[in-house]
């Protein structure tokens, strides 16, 4: 098997890349994917999101090492092992990231990745539907393959949350993916006609109708090099080992966990670490696997005094009814991820743009769906966006079939603890506003007796969960930056014919969920790989609070 371009991974960036590289029919593209089909209601029904990310059939099943600052807990690190990658198992929340996130990338050496450069690619990939909630049409795209919609927000609690935020003195935003991210407002989702709109549905399935795009099933074991140039990918399938050859380039889009693992197995990474595992060093790149970042969050849960929450459907009959309505009509509760209101806030005066994110949910339940609270309730997922903590992905062994070691090193600085305490107290302030008066019962979690810094720290240590946004492990930077892994063209520094195109190249984690920026990276890299000029810069000026130096609201 051989193709002009060989892409490892059919996830958010990989699928967008495959679709764009094969678009004009003149180049052959092969996509290597280890996972199976994304067909079936558990993936396609938005409300069933807690199932696929906890099923070994669809998930790589990675877990962190015992986290030293979280009481030695091992945290789940789900990554999609299925067509569409993590976009087929994620929460379907659509957040571009703040304009300043990308300006910071550029300052860190990722030339050409400032907000003015990436905004045109967001517009190219989107098909935005405002759902009558207002928004910023000039900042959005309306003809791309990725449908972006808003939930119906029928539950009054969604509105109570947004009203409470304004009562607490914070901004309102009609479109956090437009000019103004800061504030409370409606949340956006990658759902279309009641179905999960993954990159498999948006990009890959239509593109696979082309003769010049093929899907190769198998486990990528390593990149094959000849004279310092990537010439193919060794895969394991059917009990044997084969090589899928690349006439032009190999592109890793295998996730922030698997891309650095593949680089290291191929001899690109920290030399001493590779030697330790008996791997011949092709390029000593100390940054491979380092700079691991993620978003951590806690759930603040409040009992609800009115029986209006999703808890009334949290039984066999309710779930069956919602499932049947979705199966036959693609409508009803099953047709939304239930994240329909959101907020992006600044934690303190002097913080220029939001560094706290909220997801609001009209039920008190764990993300994995395992534990519903004792009755009617609602919750806010909250966490800081720009933690200074950094972790690493390293090899456990030279066996491609073995999962790597993942240490996030969460909460390793005093800043983390200070920021998280603030998030907990801020959420209590918002839930105490008069908009929640008709609904507010007792606090379920952390509980009214958890008040002091030490008590809140104990709650965080025990209950903080990953938002599943790992990134940064193949950091993009200047070619002469010893810690960078890829240059601003996504080319792996120190070898030829190899690129990394996924969330692992982010210099720093963006605000919010990472599916949208990962797809954008695939879109933008496609033009680079094809040697096309980038889309013309879009110099829209993002909204920054005029009070940012003196107030957090």
For the stretch 12-40, pLDDT in tens is 999 999 999 999 999 999 999 999 999 98
pLDDT tens, position by position, 509-540 = 999 999 999 999 999 999 999 999 999 999 99
Residue 11, pLDDT score:
98
Cα–Cα dist 87/84, whole Å: 6
| Mean predicted confidence (pLDDT) in 503-508 | 98
Per-residue model confidence as pLDDT tens digits over 97-112? 999 999 999 999 999 9
Give binding residues for FAD as ranges.
Answer: 4-33, 82, 90-93
**Looking at residue 426, what is its pLDDT?**
98
Q: What is the pLDDT of residues 321-368, one digit of tens each?
A: 998 998 899 999 999 999 999 999 999 999 999 999 999 999 998 756
Q: How many CB atoms neighbour CB 12 within 10 A?
A: 34
Annotated binding site: 4-33, 82, 90-93
Active site residue ranges:
469
- Residue 396 scores a pLDDT above 80: yes
How confident is the model over 400-445, as pLDDT tens digits?
A: 999 999 999 999 999 999 999 999 999 999 999 999 999 999 999 9
Tens digit of each residue's pLDDT (9 = 90 or more) over 216-227? 999 999 999 999
Relative orientation angle of helices 99-107 and 115-125, to the nearest 10 degrees? 130
Average pLDDT over residues 377-397: 98
**Mean pLDDT of all residues in 123-143:** 91
* Alpha helix segments (H runs only) across 152-283: 156-167, 199, 205-207, 255-265, 271-276
Distance CA 216, CA 280 (A): 27
C-alpha dihedral sign at 109, 107, 413, 513: negative
Could you read off the pLDDT of 315-329 as tens digits, one per residue? 888 888 998 998 899
Instruction: Write the CB contacts of 169 (distance below 8 Å, at least 6 apart in sequence).
Output: 553
d(CA 289, CA 485): 9
Whole-angstrom distance, CA of residue 312 vs CA of residue 535: 49
Q: Where do the domains of the chain lie, and which CATH numbers do they carry?
A: 1-35+94-147+193-288+472-539 (3.50.50.60), 152-186+293-389+412-463 (3.30.410.40)
DSSP-derived letter for residue 534 is P
Reply yes or no on whether the pLDDT at 168 is more than 90.
yes
Confidence of residue 156 (pLDDT cuts 50, 70, 90): very high
Give the whole-number percent of the chain exceeding pLDDT 90.
92
- The arithmetic mean of pLDDT across residues 228-248, rounded, is 97
Query: 527-535 long-range contacts, Cβ below 8 Å, gap at least 24?
Result: 527/20, 528/489, 528/490, 529/5, 529/17, 529/21, 529/249, 529/251, 529/490, 529/499, 530/20, 530/21, 534/112, 534/117, 534/120, 535/120, 535/121, 535/124
pLDDT, mean of residues 225-233:
98
Whether the predicted pLDDT of 372 surpasses 70: no
| pLDDT for the residue numbered 369 | 58
């Amino acid at each position: 098997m051989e193709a002009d371009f060989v892409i490892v991974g059919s996830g958010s960036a990989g699928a967008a890349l495959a679709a764009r590289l094969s678009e004009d029919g003149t180049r052959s593209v092969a996509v290597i994917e280890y996972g199976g089909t994304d067909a079936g209601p558990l993936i396609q029904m938005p409300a069933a999101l807690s199932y696929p990310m906890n099923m070994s059939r669809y998930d790589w099943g990675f877990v962190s090492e015992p986290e030293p600052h979280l009481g030695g807990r091992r945290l789940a690190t789900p990554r999609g092992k299925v067509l569409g990658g993590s976009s087929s198992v994620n929460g379907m929340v659509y957040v571009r990231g703040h304009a300043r996130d990308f300006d910071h990338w550029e300052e860190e050496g990722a030339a050409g990745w400032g907000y003015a450069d990436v905004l045109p690619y967001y517009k190219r990939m989107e098909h935005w539907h405002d759902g009558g909630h207002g928004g910023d049409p000039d900042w959005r795209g309306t003809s791309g393959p990725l449908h972006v919609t808003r939930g119906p927000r029928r539950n009054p609690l969604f509105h109570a949350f947004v009203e409470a935020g304004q009562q607490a003195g914070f901004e309102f935003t009609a479109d956090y993916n437009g000019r103004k991210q800061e504030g409370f407002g409606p949340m956006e989702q990658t759902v279309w006609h009641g179905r999960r709109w993954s990159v498999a549905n948006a990009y890959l399935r239509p593109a696979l109708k082309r003769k010049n795009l093929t899907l190769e099933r198998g486990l990528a074991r390593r990149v094959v090099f000849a004279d310092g140039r990537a010439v193919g990918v060794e895969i394991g399938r059917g009990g044997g080992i084969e090589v899928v050859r690349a006439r032009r380039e190999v592109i890793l889009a295998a996730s922030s966990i698997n891309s650095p693992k593949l680089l290291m197995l191929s001899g690109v990474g920290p030399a001493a670490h590779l030697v330790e595992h008996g791997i011949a060093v092709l390029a000593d790149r100390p940054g491979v696997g380092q700079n691991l970042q993620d978003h951590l969050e806690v759930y603040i849960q409040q009992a609800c005094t009115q029986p209006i929450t999703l808890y009334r459907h949290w039984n066999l009959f309710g779930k069956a009814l919602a499932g049947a309505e979705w199966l036959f009509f693609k409508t009803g509760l099953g047709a939304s991820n239930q994240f329909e209101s959101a907020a992006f806030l600044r934690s303190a005066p002097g913080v220029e743009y939001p560094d706290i994110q909220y997801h609001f949910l009209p039920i008190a339940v764990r993300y994995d769906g395992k534990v519903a609270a004792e009755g009617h309730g609602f919750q806010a997922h909250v966490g800081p966006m720009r933690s200074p903590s950094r972790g690493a992905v390293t090899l456990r062994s030279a066996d491609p079939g073995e999962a790597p070691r993942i240490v996030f090193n969460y909460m390793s600085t005093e800043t983390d603890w200070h920021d998280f305490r603030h998030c907990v107290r801020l959420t209590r302030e918002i839930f105490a506003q008069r908009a929640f008066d008709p609904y507010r019962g007792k606090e379920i979690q952390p509980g009214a007796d958890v008040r002091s810094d030490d008590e809140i720290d104990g709650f965080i240590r025990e209950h903080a969960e990953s938002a599943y946004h790992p990134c940064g492990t193949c950091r993009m930077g200047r070619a002469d930056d010893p810690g960078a892994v890829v240059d601003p063209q996504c080319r792996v520094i120190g070898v030829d014919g190899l690129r990394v195109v996924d969330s692992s190249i982010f210099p720093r984690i963006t605000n919010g969920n990472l599916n949208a920026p990962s797809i954008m990276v695939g879109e933008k890299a496609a033009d680079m790989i094809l040697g096309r000029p980038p889309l013309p810069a879009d110099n829209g000026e993002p909204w920054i609070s005029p009070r940012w130096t003196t107030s957090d609201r």
